[in-house]
Amino acid sequence: MGDDNRTIATNQLYWKPEKQAPYILENVESTFEKGYIYGIIGPNGSGKTSLIRNLLHLVEPSRGSVELDGENIQNVKRKYLARKMAMVPQHTGMDSTFCAYDIVMMGRAPYQKRFADAGVIDKKIVKEAMQITDCYQFREKEVSLLSGGEIQRVATARAIAQDTDWLILDEPTASLDVRHQVALMESLVGLKENQNKSVIIILHDINIASEYCDRIVMMKDGTVYSQGSTKEVLTCENLEETYGIAFHLIVEPGTGKRYFMPAGKRGGTL
């Protein structure tokens, strides 16, 4: 338990969905260290989702490898991975008649015996997870009746209930209102600080990333364009290079918080 060098790393990772297709990921070299919140940013189609699908072993790499704590995840059992990494998918696709509580309880599946009912500990963890993402109040509602943002919170609660070292989230803020976006990010910070969890999160909102992420992996055209501390990576130069539009940096006097304003074509880079 005690070692602090737990990492997820990609080694010269190449990936394409099928043999004839062009590579979606090319030579991705990235390292995710324990104890940080990593934001993955980059334009549409830059390979962000493909990267985390590779990290989670939802697909097989075409070349190269993904390593969890130094071990190639292709050699690791799926059930073991499920106790190490939890995912919140981009499209939850939940058109199910299960109630929210049952969905979150599925997060306990990697720990439960076949046919066994939920134990006291399972119930406690599920309740806490649902309270963290503010969805315990509609626990008995069928998920197909929930709104997109509510479903997103249920899916996030399920990942938290999975009780893993790593939480990997694919654009969880996309369908959330501002209040719940902030609440989610703050709860992730809380999970990092209180429960020693590490987070990898795809974000489109650069300012949310700038505010809450410790490290940034910036992607462009299927490969890592830049990675490092948030301050180093998030610069107008890098953003202009990856997104192809101009940005203004606004530094809040006093706090030193950095905000990026997209300036559109007026910057003249397109």
Partner 1 sequence: MTQENNQNQKQNKKIYWFLLLTIILILSIFLSALTGSAGLSIWDSFRMFISEIPFFGKWVTIAETQTVYHKIVWEIRMPRIMMAGLTGYGLSIVGVAFQGIFKNPLADPHILGTSSGAALGATLAIMAGSLFPMTGLGVIGASAFLTSILTVLLVYRIACTGNRLSSVNMILTGTAVSMMLSAFISLMMSLNHDQIEKVYLWTLGSFSAAGWEKVVFLFILILPSSLGILFFAKELDVISTGDETAESLGIDTVRVRKLIILLASLMVAACVSVSGIIGFVGLVVPHVMRMISGPKNKILLPLSGAGGAVFVIVCDTLARNLIAPSELPVGVITALIGAPYFVILLQRNKRKLGNG
Where do contacts with partner 1 occur on this chain (CB under 8 A)? 18, 53, 56-58, 78-83, 85-87, 89, 92-98, 101-103, 106-107, 109-110, 112, 114-115, 123, 139-140, 142, 144-145, 155, 162
State how far the Cα of 8 lies from the Cα of 165, in Å rounded to an integer: 11
Give min distance, CB of 77 to partner 1, in A: 8
Q: How far is the CB of 207 from partner 1 (least distance, A)?
A: 29
Residue 203 carries which side chain, given as an amino acid letter? L
Residue 35 vs 110, nearer CB to partner 1: 110
What Cα–Cα distance (Å) separates residue 252 from each residue in 73, 75, 91, 207, 259?
43, 48, 35, 12, 8
4 versus 115: smaller Cβ distance to partner 1: 115
To partner 1, the closest distance from the beta carbon of 190 in angstroms equals 22
For partner 1, give the closer residue by CB, 107 or 172. 107
In three-state secondary structure terms, 175 is: coil
**Residues facing 71 on adjacent strands:** 68
CA 50 to chain centre: 12
Task: Name the helix (H) or strand (E) containing 139.
Answer: none
Angle (CA) 98-104-110 rounded to 5° is: 110
* Helix spans in 56-205 (H): 78-84, 100-105, 120-132, 148-161, 178-195
Q: How far is the CB of 121 from partner 1 (least distance, A)?
A: 14
Cα Rg of the chain (Å, integer)? 19
- CB 198 to partner 1: min, Å: 16
Q: Name which of 82 and 249 has its Cβ closer to partner 1.
A: 82
Pick 38 or 243: Cβ nearer partner 1: 38
Beta bridge partners of 38: 200, 215
User: Nearest distance from residue 53's CB to partner 1, in Å?
Assistant: 7
Q: Which is nearer to partner 1, 70 or 93 (CB)?
A: 93
